[in-house]
Chains A and B, each alone.
Chain A
Amino acid sequence: MSVYGLCIILSLALFLIGAVGVCVRRNAIVVFMCIELMLNAVNIAFVAFSRLHGGLDGQVAVFFVMVIAAAESAVGLAIILSVFRSFISVETSDVSELKW
């Protein structure tokens, strides 16, 4: 198996770990980390395909993803912080006021 194949498998594994983490974990920070994990899994896939096809488009996209991730982490952490202020907890199961 070529290095590209390994990269894709790694990317897939990371993405699945992230996705499962988002679904099953209740701590908002861990969920957040899992999302970052998924983003980075996508980044690896981008770079790998970019090398495979010999273009730069994929690598450019990675930069965009990183910029978005940075912005997203700023907003996300701010939300988690204000959630903690009101609920004194970052467990997502505690923050369920809006269900039915």
Chain B
Amino acid sequence: MVMGNVENLLLLLVSLPLFGAAVSYALGLRARVLSGPLATLTVAVCFGIAIYLTTELMVGSSIQREAIVASFGSWLSVGNVTLSFDLYFDALSAVMCLVITGIGALIHLYSIQYMASDEGVARYFGFLNLFVFSMLLLVLGKNLPVVFIGWEGVGLCSYLLIGFWYKKTEFVLAGQKAFVMNRLGDLGFIIAMAALFTTTGTLDIVELTSPESLARIGEGVALLAGLALFFAATGKSAQFPLFTWLPDAMAGPTPVSALIHAATMVTAGIYLTGRMHPVLELSPQVLSVITWTGVITAFVAATVALVQNDIKKVLAYSTVSQLGFMFIAVGCGCYSVALFHVVTHAFFKACLFLSAGSVIYGCHHEQDMRRMGGLRKSMPITAATYAVACLAIAGIAPFAGYFSKHAIIDSLAHNSNVYLAPFQGGLQIVVTLIAVMTAGYMARSFFMTFMGSYRGEATPHEVPVIMWGPVVVLAILSCIGGWLLHDTLFSFLDAVVRTPLFILQHQSLTSYVTGSLPGVLGIVLAYSLLVRVVSLTEKFQSWGWMVQKLWERKYYLDELYDVVVVNPLRITGRFLAVGVSQGLVEGFGRGVAFFVQALGELARRTTTGLVGGYALYMLLAIAVLIGILV
């Protein structure tokens, strides 16, 4: 393959963050001041490259070329199967790359100040750059093994950054939980790869999704591969039942939560299902499972978010809930809609997380909203950005979240899946209810944090410009991003995933008003319930102690895992440790040792220390020898 400038640029796009990570990590403590700007610069340059490559894909609004393919060369070759380390840049990858590098650069910039006083700052930026590298590899890989490298890489970086403050045991445990739950999902990825490879003989995504390959995949394999792929996505994208790691992942530094656990890594599952959608579409059962999982997750997480008091936990559950929304769209076959929500969600959730980070920074590492309040006076810019992002996530027109969220509700209303159609009305009501709750918990967090009067001890202060600058950019995007990208994105993505017509046709003023109603209702409810109350929790006590308990304990899911997975594993482990390892293996060793010892004890008796005795042995031995020889 002859590689031109564009192809080399694509290779450079992936290599740069790896280079930045290596430099930051190699310099270590000597790069305390340098590593932040360097890491930010590499990601910013990547953003530039991504924009250039995207313009290469299309000129104006017409598609110029379908994809840019570049190769790092051959990777491995077994029998008649060769794997090469190929990158594939098409519209879907382009959107993901722009989000990763664009939002990534803003968050890197923000981190410079946020992490300035931390001693591990070089390690931090090293990990962050490594994450950007892995994520780019994930969305650019042309065949599934390359995607899998990125998939594992982002999991690793997530683990490293959740446990970044490794001196606190619970943070390290949170990292482990995230890692183990992700590994569980990865099992699905491997099973899917194996199933697809045995039937089609290729792992290249382009070949795999070609009509010839798809024709070779039988019904059973399609079901297995689809479910396995989706299981992988549930792990990475924190869907029911594998979502409890994401709220625990809030142990990491807040910019990490913004980048990895809100804007990019957790959307890898959406990317994967979108990329492999021709395989998923072979089986309507799989699609219905995806939608059902999305609805359950969105509902469960939204209810739990209503009673959280930690500002980051609210955002974490909200992320889980929004990811559920994206999977609803995936299950309905509207991948471009899911991707649209990925983009707008990246805008407003990154904005929310960074604003929350500013609040935590300004209140001297306070995360409990019960000890905040009234911060709009001391932190006006942060309050404004948080408010804008709240309106966006609540789905109020004309903010970004409105467009994507209502496209999702529309796609649910128009889907024709036989396994979903009977429940259509119910699902729509539930999803609308979730939209109300979304607005409710976000408004609650805003009122508790920024309204009323201050309830903490510290003296909150506004953050410096290097921190609020990126947040303001994100807030502007949350404001106009949805309206701006609505049509452009869909037409751009047309080459990879078609957008159903009904999505493109609702732009009237009345639809804006009616579409915003759930959001407005949620905000009003939150306000009326909270106007004099510190927390919704207290309101609950009179009428719904059980419900509140259920929500606070996250539906006892962690306890359920303990009973179903963790404890059996622990018991098996103990059996293996005590029964097999100590009993059988060590027992055998001990038995041999005991036998030898007993023999030695017997032999010891003969060594009396009396010369006469020895002489007698000698005599007897000689007598015996003579008896034998003569």
Residue B167 lies at the interface, judged by CB distance under 8 Å to chain A = no
Given A22-B615, A23-B619, 8 further pairs, Cβ under 8 A = A22-B612, A23-B613, A26-B610, A26-B612, A31-B612, A93-B610, A96-B610, A99-B608
Expressed in whole angstroms, the Cα–Cα distance for A83 and B476 within the complex equals 103
B619 to A, closest residue via Cβ: A19
A38–B479 Cα distance when bound, in Å, is: 118
Interface size class on chain A is 10 to 19
Residues of B near any A CB (own CB < 8 A): 604, 607-613, 615-616, 619
A26 CA / B611 CA spacing, docked (Å): 8
Q: What are 7 sample pairs from A and B whose C-beta atoms fall under 8 A apart? A: A23-B615, A23-B619, A24-B612, A31-B612, A96-B608, A96-B609, A98-B609
Assess whether A100 is in contact with B607, with CB atoms less than 8 Å apart: yes
Give every chain B residue within 8 A of A28 (Cβ-Cβ): 611
- In the bound complex, what is the Cα–Cα distance between A95 and B616 (angstroms)? 17
| Chain A residues whose C-beta falls within 8 Å of the C-beta of B610 in the assembled complex | 26, 92-93, 96
Minimum Cβ distance to chain B for residue A72 (Å): 15
Residues in chain A near residue B609, CB distance under 8 A: 93, 96, 98-99
The answer to whether A99 and B612 have CB atoms under 8 Å apart is: no
Contacts of B615 in A (CB 8 A): 19, 22-23
> Which residues on A are within 8 Å of B, measured CB to CB?
19, 22-26, 28, 31, 92-93, 95-96, 98-100
Chain A residues within 8 Å of B612, by CB: 22-26, 31, 92
A-chain residues with CB within 8 Å of residue B604 when the two chains form the complex:
100
Q: How far is the CB of B193 from chain A (nearest CB, A)?
A: 65
Given the complex of chains A and B, what is the CA–CA distance between A31 and B394 in angstroms? 109
B619 and A31 contacting across the interface, CB-CB below 8 Å:
no
In the complex, which residues of chain B have a beta carbon less than 8 angstroms from the beta carbon of A92?
610-612
Give Cα A28–Cα B616 distance, bound, in whole angstroms: 15
Nearest to A19 among chain B residues (CB) is: B619
Q: Which residues on B sit within 8 Å (CB–CB) of A19?
A: 615, 619
A92-B619 Cα distance, complex, nearest whole Å: 18
Question: In the complex, which residues of chain A have a beta carbon less than 8 angstroms from the beta carbon of B619?
Answer: 19, 23
Task: Report the bound CA distance from A42 to B583 in whole Å.
Answer: 62
Report the separation of the CA atoms of residues A99 and B606 in the bound assembly, to the nearest whole angstrom.
10
4 interchain residue pairs of minimum CB distance: A96-B609, A99-B609, A92-B611, A23-B612
Chain A residues near B613 (CB-CB < 8 A): 23
A90 CB to closest chain B CB, in angstroms? 11
Smallest CB separation, A12 vs chain B (Å): 14
Nearest-Cβ distance from residue B622 to partner chain A, whole angstroms: 10
- The chain B residue sitting closest to A96, CB to CB, is B609
Closest-by-CB residue of B relative to A92 is B611
